[in-house]
Amino acid sequence: MANSIQLLTPQHWQEYELIDCGDFEKLERFGDRVLIRPEPQAVWAKGLPEAEWIRRHDTRFKGRSATSGDWIKKNPKLPDRWHIGYHNADVSIKLRLGLTSFKHVGVFPEQAVNWDYISETVKSLSAGRPKVLNLFAYTGGASLAACAAGADTTHVDSIKQVVTWANENQELSGLSDIRWVVEDALKFVKRELKRGNQYQGIILDPPAYGHGPKGEKWKLEDHIAEMMRDVVQLLDPNEHFLILNTYSLGFSAVIVENLINGAFPNVQNLETGELYLQATAGSKLPLGVFGKFRKLGKRF
Specify whether 245 is located in the same domain as 213: yes
CATH code of the domain containing 156: 3.40.50.150
102-151 pLDDT per residue, tens: 999 999 999 999 999 999 999 999 878 999 999 999 999 999 999 999 99
pLDDT of 57 > 60? The answer is: yes
Q: What's the pLDDT at 300?
A: 44
- Answer yes or no: is 171 within a domain: yes
Q: What whole-number distance in Å separates Cα of residue 25 and Cα of residue 60?
A: 10
Q: What's the pLDDT at 248?
A: 64
Q: What's the pLDDT at 44?
A: 98
Q: What is the DSSP letter of 9?
A: -
- Percent of the chain past pLDDT 70, that is, above it, reads 97
Q: Which of 42-51, 148-157, 206-215, 267-276 has the lowest mean pLDDT?
A: 206-215
Continuous H helices in the chain: 50-56, 112-124, 141-148, 160-172, 185-195, 220-231, 253-263
Mean pLDDT of the chain: 94
Q: What whole-number distance in Å separates Cα of residue 159 and Cα of residue 64?
A: 23
Give the total number of structural domains in the chain.
2
- Answer yes or no: is 4 within a domain: no
Antiparallel, parallel or unpaired: β 209-211 and 217-219: antiparallel
226-263 pLDDT per residue, tens: 999 999 999 999 999 999 999 866 789 999 999 999 99
Specify whether 64 is located in the same domain as 109: no
Cα-Cα end-to-end distance for the chain? 29
- Answer yes or no: is 175 within a domain: yes
Phi, psi torsion values for 135, nearest 5 degrees: -100, 145
- Answer yes or no: is 264 within a domain: yes
Q: What is the mean pLDDT of residues 18-27?
A: 98
pLDDT of 70 > 50? The answer is: yes
44, 153, 162, 286 from 142: Cα distances, Å: 31, 10, 14, 20
pLDDT of 2 > 60? The answer is: no
Q: What's the pLDDT at 78?
A: 94
The answer to whether the beta carbons of residues 146 and 126 sit under 8 Å apart is no
> pTM of the prediction?
0.94
Range of the domain at 59: 16-81
- Answer yes or no: is 88 within a domain: no
pLDDT of 64 > 80? The answer is: yes
